[in-house]
Amino acid sequence: MQTLYFDLRDTKGPQKGIEEKISAAAKILRDGGLLGIPTETVYGLAANGLDEKAVKRIFEAKGRPQDNPLILTIPGQQWLPRYCRDIPPLAYVLARKFWPGPLTMILKCRTDVVPAVITAGLDTVAMRCPAHPVTAAIIREAGVPVAAPSANTSGRPSCTTAQDVLEDMDGKIEGVVDGGPCSVGVESTILDLTCDPPRLLRPGGLPLEDLERLIGHIDVDKAVTRALSAGEQPKAPGMKYRHYAPKAPVTVVTGAPDKSAQEILRRVKPGDGVICFDEYVHLFSAQEVHSLGPSADKLAHSQRVFDALRTFDSSAVKEIYAQCPDNRGLGLAVGNRLKKAAGFHIIEADSTQVVVGITGGTGAGKTSALRAIESLGGKVIDCDAVYHRMLESDEGLRTAIHTTFPGVFSLDGKLDRKRLGEEVFGDKDRMAQLNSIVYQFMKPEVSHLLADEDYRLFAIDAINLLESGVDQLCDKTVAITSPLELRVRRIMARDNIPEQYARLRISAQKPDEYYRGRCDFELNNGADTAEAFEAEAKEFFGRLVETIKEEKAHGNK
């Protein structure tokens, strides 16, 4: 088969010639053919989405597994009800703001209309409205929704130019439309709107932060940041396949650019391949190098990442090392593509550990703050849980308690917690005695837990953070506070208790002023919902972590 080439890079010239090419391309789709199309993200391989036979040919041409569903591409949100049902209002909020653009929404599917070959039999369908004037014109002219996965052969890096498409598809498809290089360079962000909160299935050309700014907290599917273990299923079937992979094994090195460049320099051998930022290209004169652009230019990284991976496909390098941008903005998508290419073989060059101490009274929002830390990849150490574990198993602590509170152990050595509680509650001196014993054992235990090499960020959650001396293990301490009336309402709702008891509970604790005056920072929770506060806390801690890292880096120099 001869693949026709439509040059539509320049659409400013004589309109007649342009319209003819658009009609010819649209006719290919209407006639059941396959067409390479430009989008702002990556090139797509399009077929009439309502023509089952044509759609099947996509799978053949790409060598794509049948269980991997396709995205349905439409010219605007007004087409959504034709193919989707139970569309939540949120879908329209998002479409109004981000369409046309690099956002794909997973919605409930009208299975009576959309062929099962598109959805791989799921009852949901991925909907996208790309921002490329040429493709928009072709789809409008064809008058059909278009099934369009990325145009690469399955397993290869996606195509960001028409030449890339020809490299993979020449002779297998009816035509390719050249609309110039893709302006974004990584695929669309996939957001599942069939769950609450919405879930990010694939990071892409629309940054997560932009989405969260508009709609609040979004869960991130675990397939985004780590390899899945055997038996685990990602929500986007395509995320389970090794993707974007050059022939040589890839190692991704994360961390501050200076640090990751040094780490790569320590490891590379002559003849290896390197993907790095502009500033470090000169370090690798004995290697084949592809630059991602300046380290601060995330759009450049996103435009170049597939090109770098693709070029290494046809190169004889033995191993490839890649510098990785941080997770903010487009960095999350670029890092995800690099890590997938590496089969999640990742080296952390930045060994800086950050420990944040978090304290504050009940109902202020500590739980949401801790969830924010976890969503930043951090580990939470819950001192209350640590204390209870130690009561069961730490012989040192148990002996010390036994000496001071002999009555609380039964004959077989079991600790009667209720009894211990009765001895100390309401007796200030006895409480102080118990606390001083516990604090003495708590700090070394927490210090031991901080030695977990798998985490670079820790939050220590303790109501007695400051009294126990555990604050000395922290880089910074943060008080979570909140207006009294909000706390009362939250506790009433959370614990299902009357107002009077909620107030009593708060007044039994130290007031916000106590924490405010003693911690390095205060994070005040005036948000209406836990989700909104969590999103706020995520921003706050993200910035705090960067600041602490910078302070530490300068201190070390």
Size of the site for ligand TXA (CB under 6 A): 29
Interface segment toward ligand TXA; rule CB under 6 A; list 75-83, 182-190, 309-317, 446-454: 182-190
Other Cβ atoms within 10 Å of 365 Cβ, number: 26
494's enclosing H/E stretch is helix 484-495
Q: How far apart are CA 393 and CA 387, in angstroms?
A: 10
The yes or no reply on residue 332 touching ligand TXA (CB under 6 A) is no
Q: How far apart are CA 257 and CA 323, in angstroms?
A: 7
* Strand boundaries in 142-194, DSSP class E: 146-147, 175-178, 189-192
Return the bridge partners of 253, or none: 323, 347
- In angstroms, what is the minimal distance from the CB of 54 to ligand TXA? 16
Interface segment toward ligand TXA; rule CB under 6 A; list 63-71, 209-217, 358-366, 453-461: 63-71
The yes or no reply on residue 68 touching ligand TXA (CB under 6 A) is yes
- In angstroms, what is the minimal distance from the CB of 129 to ligand TXA? 10
Q: Give, as ranges, the residues between 430 and 469 that touch ligand TXA (CB under 6 A).
A: none
In order of 100, 251, 394, 413, 496, the CA distances from 390 in angstroms are 56, 40, 5, 14, 30
> Residue from 51, 187, 461, 475 that binds ligand TXA (CB under 6 A)?
187
Q: How far apart are CA 345 and CA 320, in angstroms?
A: 11
The yes or no reply on residue 201 touching ligand TXA (CB under 6 A) is yes
DSSP letter for 238, please. Answer: G
By beta-carbon proximity to Mg ion, the closer residue of 38 and 257 is: 38
Return the bridge partners of 458, or none: 355, 379
Q: What's the 3-state SS for 277-342?
A: CHHHHHHHCCCEEEECCCCCCHHHHHHHHHHHHHHHHCCCCCCEEEECCCCCCCHHHHHHHHHHHC
> Residue from 48, 124, 295, 482 that binds ligand TXA (CB under 6 A)?
124
Three-class DSSP category at 176: strand
Q: How far apart are CA 223 and CA 378, in angstroms?
A: 17
Only one residue has tokens 């390719």, namely 176
Binding partner of residue 253 among ligand TXA, Mg ion, none, CB cut-off 5 to 8 Å per kind? none
Interface segment toward ligand TXA; rule CB under 6 A; list 36-44, 223-231, 273-281, 485-493: 36-44
Interface segment toward ligand TXA; rule CB under 6 A; list 40-48, 323-331, 335-343, 526-534: 40-48
Interface segment toward Mg ion; rule CB under 5 A; list 146-154, 210-218, 382-390, 478-486: 146-154
Return the bridge partners of 125, or none: 107
CA angle 487, 491, 492 (to 5 degrees): 115
Tokens representing residue 80 in the block? 């959504």
The alpha carbon of 159 is separated from its chain's Cα centroid by a whole number of angstroms, namely 23
Return the bridge partners of 476, or none: 356
By beta-carbon proximity to ligand TXA, the closer residue of 8 and 488 is: 8
Interface segment toward ligand TXA; rule CB under 6 A; list 146-154, 426-434, 455-463, 520-528: 146-154
Q: What burial letters (b/e) apply to 292-312, b meaning 16+ CB within 10 Å?
A: bbebebbebbbbbbbbbbbeb
**38 closest CA partner among 148, 140, 114:** 148
The yes or no reply on residue 106 touching ligand TXA (CB under 6 A) is yes
By beta-carbon proximity to ligand TXA, the closer residue of 198 and 361 is: 198
Q: Are 355 and 473 in contact (CB under 8 A)?
A: yes
Tokens representing residue 178 in the block? 């050249």
- In angstroms, what is the minimal distance from the CB of 53 to ligand TXA? 19
Return the bridge partners of 97, or none: none
Q: Are 74 and 127 in contact (CB under 8 A)?
A: yes
By beta-carbon proximity to Mg ion, the closer residue of 104 and 260 is: 104
The yes or no reply on residue 80 touching ligand TXA (CB under 6 A) is no
Amino acid (one-letter) located at 426? G
By beta-carbon proximity to Mg ion, the closer residue of 150 and 260 is: 150
Binding partner of residue 309 among Mg ion, ligand TXA, none, CB cut-off 5 to 8 Å per kind? none
Interface segment toward ligand TXA; rule CB under 6 A; list 145-153, 275-283, 301-309, 510-518: 145-153
> Residue from 77, 104, 135, 150 that binds Mg ion (CB under 5 A)?
150
The alpha carbon of 483 is separated from its chain's Cα centroid by a whole number of angstroms, namely 32
> Residue from 48, 135, 150, 323 that binds ligand TXA (CB under 6 A)?
150
The yes or no reply on residue 193 touching ligand TXA (CB under 6 A) is no
The yes or no reply on residue 36 touching ligand TXA (CB under 6 A) is no
- In angstroms, what is the minimal distance from the CB of 197 to Mg ion? 26
The yes or no reply on residue 236 touching ligand TXA (CB under 6 A) is yes
Size of the site for Mg ion (CB under 5 A): 1
By beta-carbon proximity to ligand TXA, the closer residue of 192 and 423 is: 192
Interface segment toward Mg ion; rule CB under 5 A; list 83-91, 142-150, 270-278, 528-536: 142-150
> Residue from 119, 254, 302, 524 that binds ligand TXA (CB under 6 A)?
119
**Burial class for 439, CB neighbours closer than 10 Å (0-12, 13-18, 19+):** middle
Binding partner of residue 236 among Mg ion, ligand TXA, none, CB cut-off 5 to 8 Å per kind? ligand TXA
> Residue from 193, 239, 250, 502 that binds ligand TXA (CB under 6 A)?
239
By beta-carbon proximity to ligand TXA, the closer residue of 340 and 538 is: 340
The yes or no reply on residue 148 touching ligand TXA (CB under 6 A) is yes
Interface segment toward ligand TXA; rule CB under 6 A; list 119-127, 392-400, 451-459, 465-473: 119-127
List phi, psi (to 5°) of 118: -70, -45
Tokens representing residue 97 in the block? 């703001």
- In angstroms, what is the minimal distance from the CB of 236 to ligand TXA? 3
Handedness of CA 11, 16, 21, 24 (dihedral sign): positive
- In angstroms, what is the minimal distance from the CB of 394 to ligand TXA? 46
Q: Are 222 and 377 in contact (CB under 8 A)?
A: no
Q: How far apart are CA 43 and CA 11, in angstroms?
A: 18
The yes or no reply on residue 44 touching ligand TXA (CB under 6 A) is yes
Q: Which residues bind ligand TXA (CB under 6 A)?
A: 39, 41-42, 44, 68-71, 104, 106, 119, 122, 124-126, 128, 130, 148-150, 187-188, 190, 201, 235-239
Q: Which residues bind Mg ion (CB under 5 A)?
A: 150
